[in-house]
Each structure stands twice: as structure tokens, then as C-alpha cells.
Amino acid sequence: MNLTSFISTKTMAENNKIFVYDKLRVFFKHTDYYGAVHPYNFLEWTSYVREAFFSEMCGDFRKILESPIKMMTAKIELCTLGNSSFGDDIEGRFTTAQIKKVSFDVVVRFYNRQKNMVVCETRHTLVFIDSATQRFAAIPDNIKDAIVFYKDAELEAS
Amino acid sequence: MEYFARTQREFVYKYVVLLSDTDQFKHMSFANYLKLMFLATDALFVCCQEEAFLAEYQLKLLKSKMQFRRQTVAGDQTLIKINSADILEDSFTLLYTFIIEGSGDLVGLGKQSFKLVQAVSGAGAGLPDKMLDLLKPIMVDESNLLYKY
């Protein structure tokens, strides 16, 4: 099974969708001394992918931003799996894991279209805080209602 | 902790959080902390950045992780302390402790594992003395540390 059909299958499953952000391309500023994408860029792109998901899939995300409930990154991990170079088109594939009352994990796999492989994977934990009380807050409904459909099938199976 | 502070050497990189590092929530965004890890690593290995070295070797990041304890805002004077661990034939790990200078408040803990490869072939390369001379004086046994990185 090739990766494209794998994704189609996953997208069809109601609770294991994958959100794809396909507006990433490697420019000179992303490359290092050796012409490879510096790993830092995948961290920056991780924030692009997650914010694109929230903007597109979580209703009125601006309203959430204006509320006292704030989102914080508690921890993040990055694994490099392959190189990318100038001109490559990168897809950020967003899924979720470990959905709890006040936190969940965001998994982003970066798929290089020219190299036909996942070149990097990041996973970070988001927690929600009520800025008025400085206590943990429940995941806002708009976000929770969206992320449950994007549970990572691979992580669920393992 | 006192024992650690008096006997353990570390490499320290200082960074003052700039207004341009912060976002609409008025604190530094998570990706910038990771960027600081790369900046501090570059500063540690600044003597390994001449053309001849870079033509022979490439330092590849295998895995990077960071946990956040406290937000920083513009003007915060941040110290990034680096120690090394798990120094092997062609790989090593760096441990990063982010604290606010003065108050000593812990901002975050980072950990990155690297592999040194031959720039041309990509095969593992033994760590040269000039890298070992930087890594060994700041080496720690991770299992003996106060924090879990």
C-alpha cells in the first residue's frame, strides 16, 4: 500500500482523519551549510500547521483567543528522519493523541513530496490555563469537538 | 544541588529575550526556545566551524525535546546552561537548562542527541579531539541530576 492510499483510508475512518497543511516549501533561508533543511524550521512549521488546523477546523478560533483560556505548549519532541533541500514541497500532517480533560498531544508528520517520505515528526503537548485564576482549564469545546476526529491511528494501535 | 553547583562545569550561553521574540500573548513562542538550543549549541562548538572541519564532518541532529516550566517575556535575561551526556564513538547528548538570571527561576529543560557523520559519505565519524575537549569537561551522569530532561 502506498502512502497516498494509506492516507485516503485513514481519512475515511471517522475518528482517524488527518489534517494536511500543504503550503510549506523549502527556500534558501530554511537551508543550512550543507543544503539541508535546518531542523529548527520543522518546529516553526509545527506552529503553522497547528494554528492552521485551529483556524480552519475549530469554529471561531479568534473568539477562543479573546477568552481568558490560554493555550500553552508544555513539552515538545522532534525526530529527524530524512533530509529536505531547496525547492522541496512539504506537507504537514496533523493528528492528535492523549486527549485528556485539560491537555492533548499534537503530532505533525512532515511529508516531503519530492522524496516521497516523512522527513520529520514532531509531537507536542498543549495544556489549557485559565489566565484569570492561573489554574488548568478544560479544553475549549470548539477545539475538543474538532480534535477527536483526528486521533492518530498509528499511536492508538501501538 | 550545592554539590552539583560547586563541582560540575557547564557551558553557559546568555540571551536577552527581545520584543521581536515575543508574540501577541506577550511571551516567547515555543519554537524560539528550540532555536535558542541551536544557537547555544553553535556557540559551544564555535571552534569547530572552520571550513576544513565543516568540509569533513557534519553534525546531525537525531532527536530534540524540550519541556516548558515558565514563560519568558521581553527583557528577561535567560541563561542556557549546557552539559553533555552519553558520549559515544560518534554520538553524544546535550542537556540544556534554561533559567532566568538573577532569580534562578527554571524556564525549561531541553535535550538533544547528535551524531557526527562524514560530510561526504554520511557514515559515522569518530568524535575528534577538539569536540571531545569541549564535551568531556561538561559531562554529567544524567541519572544523578536533579531534573529529568
Percent of chain B with pLDDT over 90: 85
CA distance B124 to B128: 12
The total of structural domains in chain A comes to 1
Pairwise CB contact (< 8 Å): B71 & A72: yes
CA distance A102 to A98: 11
Instruction: Encode pLDDT of B4-35 as tens digits.
Output: 445 568 999 999 999 999 998 899 988 999 99
> Looking at residues A73-77, what average pLDDT do you find?
96
CB A110 within 8 A of CB A158: no
The answer to whether residue A140 sits within a structural domain is yes
Domain layout of chain B by residue ranges: 2-136
- What's the domain range around A124? 19-150
**ipTM metric:** 0.86
The answer to whether residue A44 sits within a structural domain is yes
Q: What pLDDT sits at residue B120?
A: 92
CB < 8 Å to B35, chain A: 40, 43
CB A88 within 8 A of CB A115: yes
Question: Closest Cα of chain A to B132: distance in Å?
Answer: 22
The answer to whether residue A80 sits within a structural domain is yes
> Looking at residues A24-39, what average pLDDT do you find?
96
CB A68 within 8 A of CB A132: yes
Look-up of cell digits 529536505:
A84
CB B84 within 8 A of CB B138: yes
Asked if residue B3 has pLDDT above 50, the reply is no
Asked whether the CA dihedral B41, B91, A107, A119 is positive or negative, the reply is positive
Percent of chain A with pLDDT over 90: 80
CA distance A92 to B22: 24
> Looking at residues A145-152, what average pLDDT do you find?
95
Pairwise CB contact (< 8 Å): B35 & A40: yes
Distances (CA, A) of A43 to A5, A107, A140, B66: 27, 12, 24, 11
pTM: 0.88
> Looking at residues A97-118, what average pLDDT do you find?
97
| A4 pLDDT tier (thresholds 50, 70, 90) | very low
Q: What pLDDT sits at residue A13?
A: 59
- CA B16 to chain centroid, in Å, comes to 16
CB < 8 Å to B62, chain A: 79-80
CATH number of the domain enclosing A98: 3.10.129.10
The correct answer on CATH 3.10.129.10 for the domain covering B2-136 is yes
A73 touches chain B (CB under 8 A): yes
Q: What pLDDT sits at residue B2?
A: 43
Asked if residue B41 has pLDDT above 50, the reply is yes
The residue of A29, A47, A78 whose CB has the most chain B CBs within 10 angstroms, and thus the best one to mutate to test that interface, is: A78
Question: Closest Cα of chain B to A10: distance in Å?
Answer: 27
CB A73 within 8 A of CB A124: yes
- What torsion, rounded to 10 degrees, do the Cα atoms B33, B40, B80, B22 define? -30
Q: What pLDDT sits at residue B7?
A: 58
Strand partners of residue B67: A75, B109
Q: What is the DSSP letter of B124?
A: B
DSSP strands (E only) in chain A = 19-25, 69-80, 89-97, 103-112, 117-130, 135-136
Residue type, A119: V
Q: What pLDDT sits at residue B8?
A: 67
CA distance A94 to A96: 7
The answer to whether residue A4 sits within a structural domain is no
Asked if residue A8 has pLDDT above 90, the reply is no
Distances (CA, A) of B15 to A19, B9, B27, B81: 36, 19, 15, 11
